[in-house]
Amino acid sequence: MLKKLLLIGLISLGFYSCDDAIDIVQDGELNDERLFTNVGNMQMFLNEVYDRVSVQNDIMVSSLLTDEVGLGSAGFANDTQRFFIFSTNGYASAIWSQHYQAINYANRLIRGAQLVNPTTPADITAYNNILAQARAIRAFCHFQLLTYFSPDMSNNNAPGVMKMDYVPTIQQLNPRATTGEVFGLIESDLLFAENNISTATTGTDSWKYFNSNTINALRARMYLYRKNYVLAEQYADAAIANGPALATCTFGNSANIPQTTSVIPPYTAGQVTALTAMEAAAASATNAPLYRRMWVDQASAQGEMIFSLGRLNNNANFGSQYNTNQSNLGGGPLFDMGRTLFDLYSQPLGGGAEDFRRWSFVDRTSTISATPATATKNGEVIVIDKYPGKTGNAGSNDLKVFRTSEMYLIKAECRARANDLPGAALLVQQVRQARNYIAAGIVPLPVYGSNMAAYADILLERRKELAFEGHRYIDLKRLGADAGVTSTDRYPQDSVNASATNPANINVTDYRFTLPIPQNEVTVNPMSQNTGY
């Protein structure tokens, strides 16, 4: 650890030398020649690259700019949640800077690697694997930037973002490339990664690093957004075949959970007892559903995680973005679950099946109003419990990036695009069945009378399954119109002083479904702004 901290400090000296001495080698400066001397140092630098990757702000933008959250009992009016988006928006700026910082670190590693000359077979393999991970990270970050800042990811000529495959100088201007040009770099990076990566795909923490499974999942999502449904399905199939199975939601026999009765809101005394038992069982590898243990980051519970960004205890507390301290009523909820989303979880899945996501994502201390239309901010507080924290450390969770359920829903959409409606229905049914906790419950097979009906059901299932993971924002933009969904679906009480100038919902074609290029970037690096800002 001491060696790592020393390395970080020396790196900082090298990266941030004084402007008036840019071309002078300072005493003690750790430049590329001194740092990149062997594969071991490359690996240490790669660890720092991973530390710079985050989707925290991406997830929050998706929650706030759609219909996932309402203002919590401890929260204050938030411009983003009120749809007040300008070029100075803090979340847009954070997404931009966070991903470009990670790209910069990856580029420095890629440049520095040219100074290393591995000779043994083991070092050559490690060297190529490090570069493959660095380029996969660079591809992922560019893709995230396009997701939020490109007006149309399926149009190669649409304005994109900065294409950064080099380490820029302080004075250098970096133009805004087209979406097609940036995707060209992404595909080149992923091809290199595919051919050179050797990171383990199974074993302890294997899902916290880029490997061949992660690359399949990234490509599946990327080609879905690109509207290349043939390739999207191809890579979704590969991710399903080679990755973890759907996580189950059934309990161990000794858990005191009612597996033969419905759980319908509001909570009753008996249901609170059952929920308490479920929460106690969450720390048990024997009793708790794998799906729940996955969300509390049990060391042995990869579940259906294809890729997560690892966060150590006390290192980062993403849960505090929704709840100040802990994910319960006394933990200071800043944003609670939107009522329309809660109502979806409360609906039976059919066939005697019940949706475990209601149990897993809503804390039992929540206050559920029987009259939500007239409830005050404190009268109904639906506490978000999707990020409860690791065992014994409230709020500190790994950030889930790719999961097997998403791959099923990507394939379902691709089947619907190919006019295979029964095939799409079967995939949606499989996801729903995996979320059932009633022992004898069998989720019925959906029947779609049209492509639009299939898209609508897939969008619905994505809304429930992938909530609070950063998907809803882009899903409404790219799939809403095809599914017959015209706007966000926010419950009136979840809006802050809704009015003509502060609407409760916005249309899926609204310009705010593309974020503004941050003003602090445009000021120093002139480039075209997105429409509407």
pLDDT at 264: 40
Burial status of residue 209 (CB atoms within 10 A of its CB: 0-12, 13-18, 19 or more) = buried
**SS3 call for 177:** strand
Per residue in 419-445, pLDDT (tens digit) is 999 999 999 999 999 999 888 889 999
**SS3 call for 309:** strand
> b/e string for 232-254 if b means 16 or more Cβ within 10 A?
bbbbbbbbbeebbebbbbbbeee
Q: Are strands 399-403 and 305-309 parallel, antiparallel or unpaired?
A: antiparallel
Per residue in 130-139, pLDDT (tens digit) is 999 999 999 9
Give the phi and the psi of residue 341 in degrees, each rounded to 5: -70, -45
Element (H, E) at 8: helix 2-15
> b/e string for 152-163 if b means 16 or more Cβ within 10 A?
bbeeeeebbbbb
pLDDT at 260: 43
Side-chain-side CA neighbours of residue 319 (13 Å): 29
- C-alpha distances (whole Å) from 381 to each of 5, 268, 495 are 42, 16, 14
Angle, vertex CA 370, rays to CA 364 and CA 371, nearest 5: 130
Per residue in 228-272, pLDDT (tens digit) is 999 999 999 999 999 999 998 887 644 445 444 444 444 444 455
**SS3 call for 275:** helix
Q: Is the dihedral of CA 226, 475, 436, 287 positive or negative?
A: positive
Please tell me the distance from the alpha carbon of residue 138 to that of residue 25, in angstroms, as a whole number: 28
pTM: 0.92
Mean pLDDT, rounded, of the chain: 88
Residue 2 pLDDT exceeds 50: no
> b/e string for 267-302 if b means 16 or more Cβ within 10 A?
beeebeebbebbbebbeeeebbbbbbbbbbbbeebb
CB 343 within 8 A of CB 370: no
pLDDT at 275: 55
Question: All domains of the chain, ordered by start, with CATH?
Answer: 1-30 (no CATH), 33-246 (1.25.40.390), 269-402 (no CATH), 404-494 (no CATH)
> b/e string for 385-404 if b means 16 or more Cβ within 10 A?
bbbbbbeebbbbbbbbbbbb
**SS3 call for 340:** helix
pLDDT at 256: 45
Q: What is the arithmetic mean of pLDDT over 408-412?
A: 98
Residue 123 pLDDT exceeds 70: yes
Alpha helices in 175-228 (DSSP H): 179-196, 212-225
CB 287 within 8 A of CB 254: yes
Element (H, E) at 178: strand 176-178
Q: Is 497 left (phi over 0), alpha (psi -120 to 50) or beta?
A: left
pLDDT at 9: 43
CB 494 within 8 A of CB 518: no
**Other beta carbons less than 10 A from residue 68's beta carbon:** 29
- C-alpha distances (whole Å) from 462 to each of 31, 469, 512 are 46, 10, 21
**SS3 call for 264:** coil
* Lowest-pLDDT choice from 56-60, 91-95, 217-221, 251-255: 251-255
Q: Are strands 389-390 and 399-403 parallel, antiparallel or unpaired?
A: unpaired
Q: What is the DSSP letter of 80?
A: T
Please tell me the distance from the alpha carbon of residue 235 to that of residue 221, in angstroms, as a whole number: 9
Place of tokens 């660079």: 138
Give the phi and the psi of residue 241 in degrees, each rounded to 5: -70, -35
Residue 399 pLDDT exceeds 70: yes
Q: What is the DSSP letter of 528?
A: P
Please tell me the distance from the alpha carbon of residue 40 to that of residue 353, in angstroms, as a whole number: 52
Tell me the pLDDT band of 12, cut-offs 50, 70 and 90. Answer: very low
- What number of residues does the chain have? 533
Tell me the pLDDT band of 19, cut-offs 50, 70 and 90. Answer: very low
